[in-house]
Amino acid sequence: MKKLDWYILRKFLSTFVFTMLTITVIAVVIDTSEKADDFVKSGLSSWEIVTHYFIGFVPFIMSMIFPLMVFIACIYFSSKMAGQSEFIAILAGGVRYPRMLRPFIVGAVLLSLLYWFASQYWVPKANEIRTNFQATYIDRNSSYNSDPYRTNNFYLRVNAGTYVGLKYYDTARKTASSFFLSKVKNDKIYYNLRAESIRWDTAKKDWLLTGIVEHTNDGLKETARLIPTMHMNLNVRPEELRRDEYLKDKYTTPELKRFIKMEELRGSEGLNTYKEERYHRDASPFSVIILTIIGAVIATRKIRGGSGLNLAIGLVMAAVFVIMDKFSVTFATKGNFSPMLAAWMPNIIFGIVAGWLYWRAPK
């Protein structure tokens, strides 16, 4: 790293920090104005709102805009330098074009590593704070929100050949008014159990069944018996039966991987949302490098329109990137599109664009 590298890198990082802080402050002000009534109804003090909500909201909003802020910062400071003919002087001094891009790549890699680590561990912890406040004080006041303790039906595979179902499960009381368990072998049900009710026993840490009818089928022989009560370990805890729309945001990546693996063993459906989130946490940091290369190649050229035109081009490309990212997520979660491909598709397309721009750039 030479003086030139440190000069460009310092401008890159300082512009990024300023841009990130500015947009974050604007986002906090807008969010505060939208949720002012909810904050008042919560009855919490200003300090409690900061520690119970905004301490989680700020990392969340920063993680959302991180790649785009890197892109805009790169275009902004590069355009200013290009407007002052600094890059022309650098190239005229014998510095090769790939060598001139080195500090851009170094800065992008540093920011990408920071973003990757934050996405895996820090941001999920912040999201847990934000979403807990959201669910407790904001969602319950929404006219679009139904009863948080509404009944639910769950159908799970607890092990290789055992399937259970809970109907009308009450998440508040941890009870269900109907339960069944079936054991399958060679595609045939050889054991079936039904219970009138089931509830979580907090003392024994298992499930208590009442009003049980047990059927056993052994070839041509079938037996049935009535059992008043029975304790059963289903390898399923009450917190796993609560449908939490913020669950994928709260889990750190190791926790998210374990959750996906367990739900796949249980035969659960609708896991594409969680898989896409898991792959997205790796793809988004890599997009920082791609967007930095695009921004550097575009903005290091001195053009007639100046920095304003470069910023306009950057904003258009940022909008296209966001739209493409949202479309791929929708196709993965609502359709049959591969979650991994959906997470990496914007990077693949913009990586090709970055290569083409670099090849066409005057050197």
Backbone angles phi, psi at 227, to 5 degrees: -130, 125
CA distance 131 to 138: 10
Given a contact cutoff of 8 angstroms between Cβ atoms, the answer to whether 293 and 123 are in contact is no
- pTM beyond 0.85, yes or no: no
Tokens coding 232:
């059963």
Conformation bin of residue 247: beta by default, left when phi > 0, alpha when psi is -120 to 50: alpha
What is the SS3 string spanning 295-355? HHHHHCCCCCCHHHHHHHHHHHHHHHHHHHHHHHHHHHHHCCCCHHHHHHHHHHHHHHHHH
**Residue 243: what pLDDT?**
63
Residue 39 CA, distance from chain mean position: 25
* 357, containing H or E segment: helix 339-360
- pLDDT-derived band at 338 (thresholds 50, 70, 90) equals confident
The pLDDT of 329-342, averaged and rounded, is 81
The pLDDT of 297-305, averaged and rounded, is 73
User: What pLDDT, in 10s, does the model give residues 97-146?
Assistant: 888 889 999 999 999 999 999 999 999 999 989 988 887 888 765 544 44
CA distance 24 to 31: 10
Residue 305 CA, distance from chain mean position: 38
User: What pLDDT, in 10s, does the model give residues 132-185?
Assistant: 888 788 876 554 444 444 447 787 877 778 888 888 887 777 888 889 899 888
Domain residue extents for the chain: 3-142+270-360, 172-241
The pLDDT of 326-340, averaged and rounded, is 80
